[in-house]
Amino acid sequence: MKKLLILSLICLLAVAFTVSCKPKAKQVAPTPPPPQAKEQPKVEKVEPPATVKKPELGEEELFLSKSLEQINREKPLQMIHFDYDKFFIRDDAKSLLEGGAAWLKTFRTAKVLIEGHCDDRGTEDYNLALGEKRAKSTYDYLVSLGIPAERMKTISYGKSQPLDLGHDENAWQQNRRAQFLVIEK
C-alpha cells in the first residue's frame, strides 16, 4: 500500500508539472473594423493662449514711477533767457513758460525750484539781486498762468553757476537765464 501511495503521489506531481509547463496560447490582436467612408476629422478651432500684457501705465503713473533725477534730465520745463541787465519776461520766453505751465497743470503734485542766473559782469551782490528778480518774474508769470504759488520756490545763484564760461556776448546770453528744477513729485 505504501507503494501505491508513493506511485499516486508521483503521478500527481507529474500531472501538476506538465500542466504548469504548458505553453500559453498566443494572444491575437483584434482585427480592425472594415474601412468605412472616411470622414474628415473635426478640427476644433484652438485659439492661441492670450499673451499677458503688462498694463500700460498712465501718464501720471509713469511720472510717479520716475526718480526726480530722471525727470530733471528730461527737462520738462524749458529754461528761459533774459536781456542784459533786465528781468522782464521776453516774448520768446512766454511760449516756453506756457508749455511749462501746461506740464505743471498735468502733474499737479510736482513742485519746482526756479533758479535765477546772471552773466559774470557786475558785482556778486548786484547779480544775486538781479538773479532773484529774474526768478521772481518767472514765478509771477507762472502764477498768472494758473500755477499755485505754493508749488514753486525761487533762488538766485547770481553769476556763480554759468552755463558757458566764455567772456563774449554769446556766452553771456546763455548765462542770463531762469531754469527749473523739479524738487517734488
Rounded to an integer, what distance in angstroms lies between the CA atom of residue 171 and that of residue 168?
A: 5
pLDDT of residue 16 exceeding 90: no
Q: In terms of residue numbers, what domain contains 171? A: 81-184
Question: Does residue 51 surpass a pLDDT of 60?
Answer: yes
Query: What is the C-alpha to C-alpha distance for residues 109 and 66, in angstroms, rounded to an integer?
Result: 13
Domain count, the chain: 1
Residue 182 burial class via C-beta count within 10 angstroms: exposed 0-12, middle 13-18, buried 19 and up: buried
- pLDDT, residue 61, reads 87
Q: What is the CATH number of the domain that holds 120?
A: 3.30.1330.60
DSSP 3-state of 132: helix
Question: Residue 22 pLDDT > 60, yes or no?
Answer: no
In this predicted structure, the answer to whether residue 98 has a pLDDT above a threshold of 70 is yes
SS3 130: helix
- In this structure, of 24-33, 74-83, 129-138, 171-180, the range with the lowest mean pLDDT score is 24-33
Give the C-alpha separation, 173 to 93, whole Å: 14
